[in-house]
Homo-oligomer: A and B are copies of this chain.
């Protein structure tokens, strides 16, 4: 029987991948992944069998990885960012637990989009923070609304994943409205599209203005807390040191 490693490949640039991820991709027999992510690592896996499947095919990808491992192959299933944060790690365990398959699964952590976006913006996530996906495909919108309101009340730095899709263009404006009930409208907001990938775009704006920019599923939005400031083009949340 082969093994399965769920590999976080980082935000996009191969240089943001860990040495461990790089090496397991070189060692495995087959790479399974979403077509877009497979393309990001193409130069690394040219000699491998590659199974790439499109969007919304997560369950098929997980089952395919299990099937291949049961055939004796060593399988890397890739996720962008960190496989453990809105990635494929959970689903892999769910599939083997549901089907009661005795298969070793290892998760190789990676740099998630929030770490990459924060580094590009400066240092906006230096204090306690909440991470919320605005996709209501798998989580009811009422739950997301509740989490937005409570995080804003707690004055967390708020990191939004999947802020806007073609199917749900209005979720970001709804989120903004909820957060503005508790946070000041001039709080800095960083918007990073395609962090560490081709077409990277960085905008620093405010809570009031943030919905006016072009935002999509490949964008991370970071909303500061009450101490966050912008200086010399960098967004910084002080940690609390007295200088």
A123, B93: Cβ atoms closer than 8 Å: yes
Interchain nearest-CB distance for A58 vs B (Å): 7
A130–B146 alpha-carbon span in the complex (Å): 13
* Closest Cβ–Cβ distance, residue A204 to chain B (whole Å): 13
B-chain residues with CB within 8 Å of residue A130 when the two chains form the complex: 128-131, 151, 154, 156
Indicate whether A241 sits within 8 Å of B138 (C-beta atoms), given known contacts A84-B118, A112-B115.
Answer: yes
Report Cα–Cα, A219/B240, bound state, in Å: 22
Docked-complex contact A147 and B139, CB < 8 angstroms: no
Binary B-proximity of A122-141 (CB < 8 A = 1, otherwise 0):
11111111111100011100
Q: Once bound together, how far apart are the Cα atoms of A239 and B79, in whole Å?
A: 14
Asked if A153 CB lies within 8 Å of chain B CBs, one says yes
Is A215 part of the binding interface, using a Cβ–Cβ cutoff of 8 Å?
Answer: no
User: Which A residues are closer than 8 A to B by beta carbons?
Assistant: 8, 10, 13-20, 22-23, 58-59, 82-87, 89-95, 97-98, 105, 107-112, 115-116, 118-120, 122-133, 137-139, 143-144, 146-147, 150-151, 153-156, 231-232, 234, 236-241, 243
**9 interchain pairs (CB within 8 A)?**
A18-B19, A97-B236, A128-B130, A128-B132, A128-B139, A128-B144, A130-B151, A147-B155, A147-B156
